[in-house]
Amino acid sequence: MLKLLFADERGQVYEHPELLALVRDGLPVDVPVPLPQHATLAALPGRRPVGFDPASGSAVELSEVRVGKKVVKPMAVAAVLPPGWTRSELPAYRKLSIAPVLPQWAYTAAAWDETRGLHVAWALHTDKRTHWDPSTHSTPDLPGLVRDRLAGDDNPLLRQLSRCALEYRCFTAQNTFYVRDEGAIPASSGCNARCVGCISEQPPEGPPSSHERIGKSPDAEFMARIGIDHLRAAPGRTMVSFGQGCEGEPLTRAREIASAIRAMRAATRRGSININTNGSLPSSLALLIDAGLDACRISLNSAHKPLYEAYYQPINYGWEEVRESIRLARRRGAYTALNLLTFPGVTDQEGEAEKLCELVARERVDQVQARSLAIDPDQYLAVAARTSAGGPRIGMRELLRRLRGARKGLVIGNFARGLGERARSAGA
Ligand code: SF4
């Protein structure tokens, strides 16, 4: 029996003695998994839990509940998953008129499994590699590593990265100080999109953004110095990536980044140079590939133009340019990944799935990173309601199965692939 979860005003989570768990679309089609390690449960302010009453056979809103001697006005509860997992269902709740916009997390349906005696969540384990495991990041020695690095290097970009590593707990920024795997090089304070769920810049009426956008774009020299140090020394999946959570769109600074890449490649041939981008400026991407960029990850919430543009709110570019960037990157031999921002109920609609499969097959994409879009569900559903490609839900598991079928050798995962892994998957 999967029991409904609710939280009291202090955020303490309980399971309801009778009511069963529902997901946003009603009774769940998929089987939940035990709550993954490092996942958390979050109370949703201004949202009443909605559960299933087996006695009446209907969905009921929980507006009051007795906990011990007191009567509680319950809040709905959702899980927030760690890296490596993709959400497959949204939480069920009724939003009160006074409800605040929720902060940017990927709210996932969760419940109490009475039979197994544990919390469960509707999630798919889409990347089992362990190098992004939270237990290997934010470790007690990190502040010391940051302090020592800053003491020995006056690079102003390192000061930004120290904030990202210690305050935002960005794992890619932390890797720069751990000197391993994928390191971060933020490059741009400006952006040519206005994503509804932007994590580095939000309008006054929006939720607080989870990162503060960098104030000043770094010079090519400072970016190059960070890259050279990391590529020369970092073991593992040696890589540096432009385009981080704390910045705008790196392609808007292509000339400076190209100059930094040339300096890096003049200093070392080691590792991979990647960019995480919205793919808005194909000719700028070409400039970076000319300079030595060998991989790119292009973010999208949909391959359907109306929904893509309704969410990204692009300035002086459109879906066509994004598609051209994907095509160009493949044609130029760069490892091409899609950062697919998934949202159950929208991304797994029949029409959306068809568009994504066609894109992956036609443009011969190498990898799809199936991320969960971190946004207030009602905010996104308001955008998608009139712009998505539509059709019945096929489910997230089926969507990923069809994507794999659309392109032989397509890698589905959540994390960037190192040079060795790319060669192996290409060989396979
Ligand atoms: S492309 Fe990135 S930085 Fe630009 S608005 Fe969207 S999320 Fe924000």
How many whole angstroms from 167 Cα to the centroid of ligand 1? 20
How many whole angstroms from 348 Cα to the centroid of ligand 1? 23
Under DSSP, the state recorded for 330 is: H
For the chain, what's the residue count? 428
Q: Where in the chain is the domain with CATH 3.20.20.70?
A: 134-427
For residues 409 and 407, give the distance between their C-alpha atoms in angstroms, rounded to a whole number: 6
Q: Is 191 in the pocket of ligand 1 (CB under 6 A)?
A: yes
Using most ligand atoms within 8 A of CB, pick from 198, 241, 311, 341 the residue to mutate for ligand 1: 198
Using CA atoms of 92, 98, 104, 109 in order, give the dihedral in degrees to the nearest 10.
-10
Residue given tokens 């990391």 in the structure block: 230
Give counts: helices (H), strands (E), the chain: 12, 21
Q: Is 193 in the pocket of ligand 1 (CB under 6 A)?
A: yes
User: Comparing C-alpha atoms, which of 296, 297, 387, 406 is closest to residue 347?
Assistant: 387
Q: Is 374 in the pocket of ligand 1 (CB under 6 A)?
A: no
Q: Is 186 in the pocket of ligand 1 (CB under 6 A)?
A: no
How many whole angstroms from 331 Cα to the centroid of ligand 1? 25
Q: Is 214 in the pocket of ligand 1 (CB under 6 A)?
A: no
For residues 331 and 338, give the distance between their C-alpha atoms in angstroms, rounded to a whole number: 15
Q: Is 188 in the pocket of ligand 1 (CB under 6 A)?
A: no
Query: Which amino acid, residue 208?
Result: P
β-pair type (13-21, 2-7): antiparallel
How many whole angstroms from 249 Cα to the centroid of ligand 1? 6
Q: What are the φ/ψ torsions at residue 220 (nearest 5 degrees)?
A: -60, -40
Q: Is 200 in the pocket of ligand 1 (CB under 6 A)?
A: yes
| Bridge partners (DSSP) listed for residue 86 | 124
Query: Which residue minimizes the CA distance to atom 3 of ligand 1?
Result: 248
Say if residues 1 and 115 touch (Cβ distance below 8 Å): yes
Q: What is the pLDDT along the chain (428 residues), one digit of tens a residue?
A: 999 999 999 999 999 999 999 999 887 878 999 999 999 999 999 999 999 999 999 999 999 999 999 999 999 999 999 999 999 999 999 999 999 999 999 999 999 999 999 999 999 999 999 999 999 999 999 999 999 999 999 999 999 999 999 999 999 999 999 999 999 999 999 999 999 999 888 888 888 788 889 999 999 999 999 999 999 999 989 999 999 888 999 999 999 999 999 999 999 999 999 999 999 999 999 999 999 999 999 999 999 999 999 999 999 999 999 999 999 999 999 999 999 999 999 999 999 999 999 999 999 999 999 999 999 999 999 999 999 999 999 999 999 999 999 999 999 999 999 998 998 887 76
For residues 198 and 346, give the distance between their C-alpha atoms in angstroms, rounded to a whole number: 19
Ligand 1 atom with least separation from CA of 247: 3
Question: What are 392's two structure tokens?
Answer: 């019945």
pLDDT at 428 (0 to 100): 67
Say if residues 239 and 183 touch (Cβ distance below 8 Å): yes
pLDDT at 141 (0 to 100): 98
Ligand 1 atom with least separation from CA of 248: 3
Using most ligand atoms within 8 A of CB, pick from 209, 284, 312 the residue to mutate for ligand 1: 312
Q: Is 305 in the pocket of ligand 1 (CB under 6 A)?
A: no
Query: Which residue minimizes the CA distance to atom 2 of ligand 1?
Result: 248
Structural class in CATH, domain 134-427: alpha beta
For residues 3 and 110, give the distance between their C-alpha atoms in angstroms, rounded to a whole number: 9
How many whole angstroms from 237 Cα to the centroid of ligand 1? 26
Q: Which residues does 372 contact at the CB level (< 8 Å), separation at least 6?
A: 81, 85, 86, 87, 106, 108, 341, 342, 343
How many whole angstroms from 264 Cα to the centroid of ligand 1? 26
How many whole angstroms from 204 Cα to the centroid of ligand 1? 16
